[in-house]
Amino acid sequence: MQPLPRSRKETKGSRTKIHVNDLVIGDDFLVIAGPCAVESEAQIMEAAFAVKQAGANMLRGGAFKPRSSPYSFQGLGEKALQYLKQAGQRVGLPVITEVMDPRDVALVSAYADVLQIGSRNMQNFSLLMEVGRTQKPVMLKRGLCATMEEWLASAEYIMKEGNPNVILCERGIRSIETYTRNTLDVSAIAAIKELTHLPIVSDPSHATGRTELVPPMALSSIMAGCDGLMIEVHPSPCDALCDEKQQLTPKQFAALMIDVNETLALRKQMRRYHPEKTQDEVKL
Ligand code: PEP
Ligand code: MN
């Protein structure tokens, strides 16, 4: 592995904690939920109420959507940022949204509590450096075909510019499998905890692309040691403008949250294998 002077675990004696309002990412288990894209004021407001009620502690919603086709819905841009912030404030949740272009970093930072760097931009180095020049927490998603080494090197780009507030997000990688949208690399979650002091979130929605696979992969990610989850939730998934097959209904999300809390409680009780600690912190 190439040198990772800022992100590797040995650099710091302790794990990185990132403060977002009252939330301490790295200590409090993070549950980001909300629709793939902000589609209207009413849609994001309804989603915000539903995910807050079920126990999420951060609201998501895309304003600038990285779509494979230029003819697909691209997001509502600044209007979406306004609706997202408004919805978050109304229910009392911080918000996260993707920034795709270095020229939009200041604009998105004015509305978002956490900036998301999407998979397709994991190696957009000018974008990484631009978010690195802010002090906003940044969630860096793993690239579609990126090795862990490449992913961590991208985190270093952000940190090298002076922003230490990096959260990693495993969202599945391209594999030979076509049944699932991507292949969730659960082993990367455990490995990242060994390699770095940065918090890691799992996104089983984009990893699987299938609603029915989201709960089992969310719970597996918890047992692998993740510090949080990102789950796509839409008031009416079948009417969604994008990613309709992977978004949970509010009811499905509320059910998942019960299992998430039970799994977290189980994880806390475990005395030998302990994913909240790393191998050298616990004598096996
Ligand atoms: C997203 O989370 O909105 C998204 C587009 O995901 P990814 O960049 O992982 O494809
Ligand atoms: Mn999506």
**CB 32, CB 51: distance < 8 Å:** no
**Residue 3: inside a domain:** no
pTM, to two decimals: 0.97
**Residue 2: inside a domain:** no
Instruction: Name residues whose C-beta falls within 8 Å of residue 13's C-beta, 6 or more positions apart in sequence.
Output: none
Give the pLDDT of residue 13: 79
**Residue 150: inside a domain:** yes
Q: How high does pLDDT run on average in the chain?
A: 95
**Residue 175: inside a domain:** yes
Residue with tokens 């819905």: 73
Give the pLDDT of residue 10: 86
Q: How many domains does the chain have?
A: 1
69, two tokens: 């086709």
Instruction: Name residues whose C-beta falls within 8 Å of residue 2's C-beta, 6 or more positions apart in sequence.
Output: 149, 153
**Residue 40: inside a domain:** yes
Q: Per-residue pLDDT for 284 more than 60?
A: no
Residues in a beta bridge with 59: 33, 95
**Residue 29: inside a domain:** yes
Mutate which of 32, 171, 234 for ligand 1? The one with the most ligand atoms within 8 Å of its CB, which is 171
Mean pLDDT of 71-92: 98
User: Which has the closest alpha carbon to 156: 123, 120, 118?
Assistant: 123
* Residue 98 beta carbon below 6 angstroms from any ligand 1 atom: yes
Residue with tokens 């697909």: 72
Give the pLDDT of residue 87: 98
Q: How many C-beta atoms lie closer than 10 Å to residue 223's C-beta?
A: 17
Tell which phi-psi region holds residue 205, choosing left (phi > 0), alpha (psi between -120 and 50) or beta.
alpha
Please tell me the number of the ligand nearest to residue 62's CA. Answer: 1
Residue 244 Cα to ligand 2 middle (Å): 8
CATH of the domain at 75: 3.20.20.70
* Residue 60 beta carbon below 6 angstroms from any ligand 1 atom: no
**Residue 201: inside a domain:** yes
Residues in a beta bridge with 37: 62
Residue 232 Cα to ligand 2 middle (Å): 7
162, two tokens: 């002076």
**Residue 4: inside a domain:** no
How far is the C-alpha of 29 from the C-alpha of 209, rounded, in Å?
Answer: 23
257, two tokens: 């949250």
Q: How many C-beta atoms lie closer than 10 Å to residue 245's C-beta?
A: 14
Q: pLDDT tier at 248 (50, 70, 90 boundaries)?
A: very high
pLDDT digits (tens, 9 = 90+) for 175-228: 999 999 999 999 999 999 999 999 999 999 999 999 999 999 999 999 999 999
Please tell me the number of the ligand nearest to residue 207's CA. Answer: 1
Residue range of the domain that includes 108: 9-281
Mean pLDDT of 66-73: 95
Mean pLDDT of 153-182: 98
* Residue 206 beta carbon below 6 angstroms from any ligand 1 atom: yes
Q: What is the DSSP letter of 117?
A: E
